[in-house]
Amino acid sequence: MNAAAQEQREQDPPIAPTIGSAVTGLSVQLDGITKHYPGVAALKDVSLDLRPGEVHAIVGENGAGKSTLIKVLAGAVEPTAGGIVVDGVAHAQLTPATAQELGIAVIYQEFTLVPTLNAAENVFLGHYIRRGPVLDRKRMYAEARRLFARLGVDLDPRVLVGELTTGFQQIVEIAKALSRDARLLIMDEPSAPLTAAEVEAMFRVVDALKAEGMTIVYISHRMDEIFRLSDRVTTLRDGQHIATQETSSTSRGELIRLMVGRELTEGYPQRETVPGEVSLRVDGLTGNGVSDISFEARRGEIVGFAGLIGAGRTELMELLFGAKRVEAGEVSLHGRSVVSRSPIQAIGHRVALVPEDRKRHGLVLEFSILQNITLPLLRSMSPGTVVNRRQERDLAAEYMADLRIKAPSSAEIVGNLSGGNQQKVVLAKWLATRPEVIIFDEPTRGIDVGARAEIYQIMNRLAAEGRTILMISSDMEELIGMADRIVVLREGLQQGVLTKNEITQEAVMALAAQGELE
């Protein structure tokens, strides 16, 4: 926190959380919304209504049409057919300006904040409060504090956004929408980047806005959130409206069936193979914020890594993949040293990393499927100065078929794919390097139940082939359901290793939060 912000926080008394004056939420009717792109129909005759004072959840697999529907509501996409009625007034389409004037705001997964500006400056970005030609900072700070208090948060408006936690950054995004008199708030996977405590705080914000009368559209893959927050839930599948139900009258199993079009449990596929000999051995690995980590992993085994935020799980995997420098310790694969000084060396050692943030670290979104899959192999495909295009096409086609990547062709731009298919492209890219050790960092984050089940099946198949899999997950059920053993970390230190028979949620948390829950 900068000195001015600290001084201001010390001088000003905290504001007691309050709910502001009642908001008249928007009443919206979508009638027969259709959107065609070349070769694909993203939405097909979708009709639904949104009511004031309601949390309306929208669920569906990746590629079901949720993102396109959001963009139509926000005026970012013009529908091919259909219309929108807002508070009784018909619109053939909305523009971003019209949507904003009507009070429609979207909180996207990726925040649109400027980290070098303070919280108040971000809240009023684009419509600063002025006194003549000069910014009226006193009023901006006062109004920002009022908006934060309305959300039940005592947040200093002078703090730089870059210094805030993700949860507080989300509060700034919501306050920014409220500063423009939002009456319909669309929240797209709002809990994805948040810690458990931040998710609970976000729930309270949603509850408060609903109590004011706001119309809220809530999109999430997490079933517990759907049943905790929403009044009604609409299911989309393949761009079509399948059902709108009172949330209290449906069940998790029913929603999943409607989403995927078949019976699909949220369970984890059983693995029949028994892990083989030790393949990977880590002894006293130190660096990048972790210290003295030691464990073994076998061929055909899935070893999970558990810990609270900041435990050092990702930092450990960065060492194994050569993305960060090893200060001490040894890593060996089948008895040979594989300590890597760079990701290129790690690939040569037959180690692959499927990263947590696929969009930033796993893919080049502007490239095609083919270009992404073959990116690590360009040197081997280029005996001279020219890439073997036929070999590229054959390799991309092989992995698209093997992993069932849904796209018109390997020329499709990866940024146009659903989250689940993007994750498969990342996996295809690394499988093409023929790795023996595959690191999965949050393998199912932000993907739907259908794609998640496919990822689990792929992981089990890779284990059955004799690969060694290391898996980080913040989803306790996922860890318990998929891992043969779990290594638990806390504050960069190893707390213990649990075997399959020892793994319970209580046992994991006892090690992960040792001393913090007392």
- The 10 Å CB-count burial string (b at 16+, else e) for 158-196 is bbbbeebeebbbbbbbbbbbbbbebbbbbbbbbbbbbbe
Question: Which H/E stretch holds residue 306?
Answer: strand 302-306
**Rounded Cα distance, 329 and 13, in Å:** 51
| Spatial separation of the C-alpha atoms in residues 466 and 298, rounded to whole Å | 9
Query: Comparing C-alpha atoms, which of 71, 61, 67 is closest to residue 423?
Result: 61
What's residue 18's pLDDT? 40
Contact 208, 19 (CB under 8 A): yes
For 459, the token pair is 């992981």
> Which pLDDT score is estimated for 508?
87
pLDDT tens for the chain, 518 residues: list them.
Answer: 444 444 433 333 333 334 444 568 899 999 999 999 877 788 999 999 999 999 999 998 767 889 899 999 999 999 999 999 999 999 988 999 999 999 999 998 778 899 999 999 999 998 888 888 888 899 999 999 999 988 888 899 999 999 988 888 989 999 999 998 999 999 988 887 777 778 888 898 999 999 999 999 999 878 889 999 999 999 998 899 999 999 999 998 888 788 877 554 556 787 777 889 999 999 999 999 999 999 999 999 999 999 877 789 999 999 999 999 999 999 999 999 999 999 999 999 999 999 888 888 889 999 999 999 998 887 777 666 677 788 888 989 998 998 888 888 899 999 888 778 888 999 999 999 999 999 999 888 777 777 788 889 999 999 999 999 999 988 888 888 999 999 999 889 999 999 989 998 888 888 886 544 33
pTM (2 decimals)?
Answer: 0.61
Instruction: Say what the pLDDT of residue 62 is.
Output: 67
* Fold of the CATH domain 3-260: Rossmann fold (3.40.50)
For residue 125, give every residue at least 6 positions away whose Cβ sits within 8 Å of its Cβ, in sequence order, or none: 114, 117, 176
Q: Going by C-beta distance under 8 Å and a sequence separation of 6 or more, which residues neighbour residue 392?
A: 370, 374, 381
Please state at what angle helix 419-431 crosses helix 449-464, rounded to 10 degrees.
Answer: 20
pLDDT for 491 equals 87
- Among all chains, which residue has been given the structure tokens 């019209």? 98
**CA–CA separation, 12 vs 71, rounded Å?**
40
* Tokens standing for residue 242: 């399948």
Q: How far is CA 5 from the centre of its chain?
A: 31
Strands (E), 17-141: 28-37, 40-50, 55-59, 81-86, 89-91, 104-107, 130-131, 134-135
Domain range list for the chain? 3-260, 278-350+435-512
198 alpha-carbon distance from chain centroid:
15
3 state SS for 189-246? CCCCCCCHHHHHHHHHHHHHHHHHCCEEEEECCCHHHHHHHCCEEEEEECCEEEEEEE
345 vs 347: CA distance, rounded Å: 5
Is residue 141 within 8 A of residue 220, CB to CB? The reply is: no
* 8 neighbors 162 (Cβ within 8 angstroms): no
Residues sharing a CB contact under 8 Å with residue 383, sequence separation 6 or more, in sequence order: none
CATH architecture of the domain with range 278-350+435-512: 3-Layer(aba) Sandwich (3.40)
Q: Report CA dihedral (106, 112, 115, 121) to the nearest 10 degrees.
A: -60
Let me know if the fold of 3-260 is the same as that of 278-350+435-512. yes
CA distance 48 to 371: 39
**469 burial via Cβ count (<10 Å: 0-12, 13-18, 19+):** buried
Determine the 3-state secondary structure of 280 from DSSP.
strand
